[in-house]
Amino acid sequence: MAGKSITIRVGALADAAPIAELLTELGYPASAADVRQRLAYWLPEPASRVLVAERDGVVVGSIALHVIPYLERTGRWLRIESLVVSKPDRQAGIGRALLGAAERLARRWGCLQIEVTSLRSRADAHAFYRRLGFTDQCGRSGRFIKEI
């Protein structure tokens, strides 16, 4: 794997199958048809972006991003909805490259912060985020979800 370059680009409908495989690997089973339907509403959304990482023309990672404006302060924040790198391609700098692209995009969009959530069971992911400057804020505020 060393020496092979990674390309980060905006995702497209044609990426539905590899993104579905990545999401399934992450524990969120999805078919190519499911992801194609989701991309159909993600891609035209001006406050959202899906990026993919390619190695030798093969999608090996993806990140889905959404910008949210603050009301309680001036500015916006970037929410990472999902980040996944294929298991055999982890530890090769791909996640770091996707997050770097996300941070550059966040700066262009005038964001003040980047947020990502991760299941408590994903200790490796938590260590990865900490290495890249993220801090766990769960002791400071709660996260409440209501399914509708």
Model confidence over 97-145: pLDDT tens digits?
999 999 999 999 999 988 876 556 566 765 665 776 667 666 666 556 6
In a domain, 99, yes or no: yes
CA 136 distance to own-chain centroid? 17
Q: What confidence tens digit (pLDDT) does each residue in 49-92 have? A: 999 999 999 999 999 999 999 999 999 999 989 899 999 888 88
CA 54/CA 99 separation, integer angstroms? 14
Tokens of 26: 């992450």
Q: Does some domain include residue 64? A: yes
- Number of separate domains in the chain: 1
For helices 32-42 and 16-26, angle between their N-to-C axes, nearest 10 degrees = 110
Q: Is residue 32 part of a domain?
A: yes
Nearest to 60 by CA among 33, 13, 97, 32: 97
Q: The domain that contains 68 carries what CATH number?
A: 3.40.630.30
The reply to whether 86 falls in a domain is yes
Residue range of the domain that includes 38: 6-131
Query: Minimal CA–CA distance to 32: which of 18, 43, 44?
Result: 18
The answer as to whether 145 is a domain residue is no
Residue 142 counted as domain residue: no
Say if 140 falls within a structural domain: no
